[in-house]
Structure 1
Amino acid sequence: MVGDIKHIVVIQSLFDGDKKTGEELYNDTIKMQIEYVQAQDIKMSHAFHNVEDKEALIEVLMYYGVNSSYMQGGLVIHLEIHGLDNLQGLILKNNSTITWEVLSDLFRVINVNTCNKLYITMATCYGRYLYKGIDPKKKSPYSGYISASQEVTTGEVMEDFTMLFHLLIGNANLVKSYIKLDKRGSNFYYKDSKRVFEENFQFVLEKLKTDKSIKDETLKFAREQSKKNGEPDADEEMGNYIFEKSLRDIYKIHSDAFKFDC
């Protein structure tokens, strides 16, 4: 089922003066409730990593890339790392930065190995911009993610994610847990990767359909092909047909990113 979870990984990289919210969340909620409260039939694995810099973060994610084939049943990777003000990625404890594109490439390996059952949760300002890392020509890097579209306070992080993981450890489903959190009111929201793709594709589609130069180029190409094949000169109707067919082909190629044979 979408959102089912069997493994939780928390990765923290916060500045020296910051409240260590990731470690606190892991020790006081995740670890304690899984080990002492969670029912045996849904018992989860769990791990915590405190990383100093970009290289250490990459190393941790590569480790899970290698081992994710053995972590079936759904995996949550929770990030407690600051978001960059320029919306391009994350900034780590030592001020090194990592882009959404690099993160998405690392997540993709894990998501493919878990058969599209990787979920990302981010106690991160501007975390919604993770979508910028998506390459529509490659497999989806995650099944879904929970993030914020704006700055968030330490209090919000602790209150919302404590509740989210408390619910998750009780019902073993991230989506169900988020729905309950959202009903209470939260600045964090859930979005699945297919919805991200659909929204982005619709934006591009509208732009293509209203750009006269693109249609003109399509008609020019159609006429060149007709002439090359010794056929009658292609008219505007033929150009429009080729244009629409091209859009359908592009959609099919990109939508394959969400098909997992497993």
Structure 2
Amino acid sequence: MFTKNDDKRYFRFNAVYVIESLNNYELQTGEVLYNDILRYMPYKIEIIKCRLFKVNSKVELVNTFNELKEDFHSHGTHPFLHFEIHGAKEGLVLNSGELIKWREIASLLRELNIMTGNNIMVSLATCYGAYIYGSILPSLPAPFFAFIGPWNTVTSDEIMVSFTRFFEFIFAAESLKDIDLDLAAEKLNEENDVTEKFGFHLSEAVFDRVVNQIEEKLKDPNEFKKRVENLVEEGLKIESIRNSFTREELKKASEDYLRSPSSVRDRMKNDFLMRG
């Protein structure tokens, strides 16, 4: 699958996993999508694996991600993750009523995306899904190759119509490598009154937008200090970083980045996108 951008980025997947956490009295939009379309895809495209995960709590969500990581280690699975969960500006709200903050979601995605070499595609059929932007740390690897999500509220009807069209378009292709994600994303919004109800955001564009916002904000010395502290704490949560850098080294690296010229920013972007 590919998308049109400066370097014609490609990514591959061999599984589509729906992660759903909705109240029992609601329309189970993820289950309907799976039953109507996705479960039949392996019969058409042999390499595709499709599965529905129903989660009711944070513990179950974390266990699902652990299962996905094990699936990668055992079978080399590169999944397309589709979330059918209630969303808020602060994060995802599970069936249990637990709020999983966007930063926590990004952390779970990042671990899997690192394993796959920036090959995780995410679609968020959730209200305020695009607010995951606020969890992006340009000093760390990207949590996804790209994501789809709205900035505002969405209804179950909008979700059903939009993502039915989206997945029908994807799997109408003769070969996965021929799928144009830009055109697939257009299908999401064909029936919406809003031109772009569901936005399609590549990790390159996410990096640029976040960094531009940060650089403007960091002109304030207090914000600069706070940002350095946040970068250090987030970096130390990642085992590979924690084992390679002391706190002082990580602090120095964070300060250098925040004061960096464009050449350092370019190197940081390469690391963010995992460009070998």
Is the shorter-chain TM-score for this pair beyond 0.5, marking a shared fold?
Answer: yes
For the 8 Å contact 2:133–2:210, the answer to whether it is kept is: no
Partner of 2:262: 248
Partner of 1:46: 50
Q: Which amino acid aligns with 2:54?
A: N
For the 8 Å contact 1:8–1:75, the answer to whether it is kept is: yes
101, 104, 107: which one aligns with 2:109: 107
In structure 2, do the counterparts of structure 1 residues 29 and 243 end up closer, same or farther at CA, with 3 Å as the change threshold? closer
Which protein has the bigger helix share?
Answer: 1
Q: Which amino acid aligns with 1:30?
A: L
- Give the Cα–Cα distance (whole angstroms) in 2 for the partners of residues 178 and 132 of structure 1: 25
Partner of 2:100: 98
Partner of 1:147: 149
- Give the Cα–Cα distance (whole angstroms) in 1 for the partners of residues 143 and 222 of structure 2: 33
Q: How far off is 1:162 after superposition? A: 0.7
In structure 2, do the counterparts of structure 1 residues 189 and 71 end up closer, same or farther at CA, with 3 Å as the change threshold? farther
For the 8 Å contact 1:62–1:106, the answer to whether it is kept is: no
Q: How does 1:1-262 map to 2 (within 5 A)?
A: 1=2, 2-32=10-40, 34-36=41-43, 38-40=44-46, 43-69=47-73, 72=76, 74-84=78-88, 87-171=89-173, 172=176, 173=179, 175-181=181-187, 184=190, 186=192, 187-208=197-218, 246-248=260-262, 251-252=265-266, 254-255=268-269, 256-261=271-276
In structure 2, do the counterparts of structure 1 residues 100 and 93 end up closer, same or farther at CA, with 3 Å as the change threshold? same
List per-residue Cα deviations over 1:79-118 (Å, max 9, x = no partner). Answer: 000002xx11100001011111111111111111111110
Determine which structure has more spread, i.e. the larger CA radius of gyration.
Answer: 1
- Give the Cα–Cα distance (whole angstroms) in 1 for the partners of residues 261 and 206 of structure 2: 18
In structure 2, do the counterparts of structure 1 residues 28 and 243 end up closer, same or farther at CA, with 3 Å as the change threshold? closer
- Give the Cα–Cα distance (whole angstroms) in 1 for the partners of residues 112 and 180 of structure 2: 18
Q: How far off is 1:70 after superposition? A: 5.0
Q: How far off is 1:145 after superposition? A: 0.3
Partner of 2:227: none
For the 8 Å contact 2:163–2:188, the answer to whether it is kept is: no
- Give the Cα–Cα distance (whole angstroms) in 2 for the partners of residues 16 and 213 of structure 1: 47
In structure 2, do the counterparts of structure 1 residues 62 and 206 end up closer, same or farther at CA, with 3 Å as the change threshold? same
Gaps of 5+ in 2: 3-9, 224-255
- Give the Cα–Cα distance (whole angstroms) in 2 for the partners of residues 174 and 18 of structure 1: 33
For the 8 Å contact 1:5–1:73, the answer to whether it is kept is: yes
Q: How far off is 1:246 after superposition? A: 2.9
Gaps of 5+ in 1: 215-241
Number of residue equivalences? 228
For the 8 Å contact 1:54–1:98, the answer to whether it is kept is: yes
- Give the Cα–Cα distance (whole angstroms) in 1 for the partners of residues 96 and 221 of structure 2: 48
SS state at 2:118 partner: coil
Report sequence identity in percent: 26
Query: TM-score scaled to structure 1, two decimals?
Result: 0.77
List per-residue Cα deviations over 1:150-182 (Å, max 9, x = no partner). Answer: 101111000011111111222233714524415
Q: Which moved more, 1:247-256 or 1:108-117?
A: 247-256
Q: Which amino acid aligns with 1:188?
A: F
- Give the Cα–Cα distance (whole angstroms) in 2 for the partners of residues 94 and 131 of structure 1: 24
In structure 2, do the counterparts of structure 1 residues 94 and 163 end up closer, same or farther at CA, with 3 Å as the change threshold? same
For the 8 Å contact 2:42–2:49, the answer to whether it is kept is: no
In structure 2, do the counterparts of structure 1 residues 250 and 15 end up closer, same or farther at CA, with 3 Å as the change threshold? farther
Query: TM-score scaled to structure 2, two decimals?
Result: 0.73
- Give the Cα–Cα distance (whole angstroms) in 2 for the partners of residues 142 and 213 of structure 1: 30
